[in-house]
Amino acid sequence: MKVVLSLAAAALTVPPVLAQQPIQQKIRPPIAVYWMSAETAAGMSMPGMPQGMGGFGMAGMAGMPGMGSSMSGGKRLRLELGSSQAASGEPRAAHAIPPGLAMGPSLPLVAPRTERSAPSRTERGDEPEFERPKGRMLLYWGCGEAVRAGQPLVFDFSRMDPQEAARVFRTRAISRPSGPGPGRNRTYGDWPNAENNQAVPAQGSLRGDQMVSGNYSPEMRFAIGEVHDFMAPVAFEAVRRTAAGATQVGWRRIPTAIGHFATAMGQGSGENEVVMWSSSEVQEFGQALMDYLPPGEVQRLIKEKVVMPPQTTECTVPSGVFRGEGAIFNFIAYGNELNLVHPPRPSDLRQTWEQVWAVKLRLKSTGATMLAEMEGDPRGGARQRGRAQEGAADQPAQAPQREEQAAPPAQPSPGDAVRDGFNILRGIFGR
pLDDT band at 22 (very low <50, low <70, confident <90, very high): confident
How many Cβ atoms are within 10 Å of 125's Cβ, its own excluded? 7
Judged against a pLDDT cut of 50, whether residue 95 lies above it is answered with yes
pLDDT tens, 313-358? 999 999 999 976 679 999 999 999 999 999 999 999 999 999 999 9
pLDDT for the residue 423: 53
Q: What is the mean pLDDT of the chain?
A: 80
User: Is 214:91 a contact under the CB 8 Å cutoff?
Assistant: yes
Judged against a pLDDT cut of 50, whether residue 205 lies above it is answered with yes
Mean per-residue pLDDT, 375-399: 43
Residue 273: helix, strand or coil by DSSP? strand
pLDDT for the residue 126: 57
pLDDT band at 63 (very low <50, low <70, confident <90, very high): very low
What is the rounded distance in angstroms from the CA atom of residue 368 to the CA atom of residue 264? 9
90-99, 175-184, 348-357, 385-394, range with the lowest pLDDT: 385-394
pLDDT for the residue 166: 79
Domain ranges of the chain: 27-110+134-429
- Sign of the Cα torsion 56, 58, 60, 64 reads positive
pLDDT tens, 125-153? 555 555 666 788 999 999 999 999 999 99
Percent helix / strand / coil, the chain, rounded to 5: 15, 25, 55
pLDDT for the residue 269: 79
What is the rounded distance in angstroms from the CA atom of residue 155 to the CA atom of residue 158? 9
pLDDT band at 392 (very low <50, low <70, confident <90, very high): very low
pLDDT for the residue 20: 65
Judged against a pLDDT cut of 70, whether residue 155 lies above it is answered with yes
Kindly state the helix (H) or strand (E) to which residue 334 belongs, with its residue range: strand 328-335
Q: Which of 116-120, 176-180, 421-425 has the highest mean pLDDT?
A: 176-180
- In angstroms, what CA-CA distances link 200 with 34, 207, 225? 19, 14, 18
User: Is 425:271 a contact under the CB 8 Å cutoff?
Assistant: no
pLDDT tens, 258-296? 999 999 999 887 778 899 999 999 999 998 999 999 999
pLDDT for the residue 128: 55
pLDDT for the residue 16: 54
- Give 299's DSSP letter: H
Residue 384: helix, strand or coil by DSSP? coil
pLDDT for the residue 70: 47
Judged against a pLDDT cut of 90, whether residue 111 lies above it is answered with yes
pLDDT tens, 2-13? 555 454 555 555
pLDDT for the residue 326: 74
User: Is 223:96 a contact under the CB 8 Å cutoff?
Assistant: no
pLDDT for the residue 134: 76
The residue with greater pLDDT, 131 or 60, is: 131
What is the rounded distance in angstroms from the CA atom of residue 160 to the CA atom of residue 415? 9
User: Is 204:101 a contact under the CB 8 Å cutoff?
Assistant: yes
What is the rounded distance in angstroms from the CA atom of residue 213 to the CA atom of residue 199? 22
pLDDT tens, 212-255? 999 999 999 999 999 999 999 999 998 999 999 999 999 999 99
Judged against a pLDDT cut of 50, whether residue 379 lies above it is answered with no
Judged against a pLDDT cut of 50, whether residue 59 lies above it is answered with no
Judged against a pLDDT cut of 50, whether residue 422 lies above it is answered with no
Share of the chain above pLDDT 90, in %: 58
pLDDT for the residue 264: 95
Judged against a pLDDT cut of 80, whether residue 27 lies above it is answered with yes
pTM for this prediction: 0.79
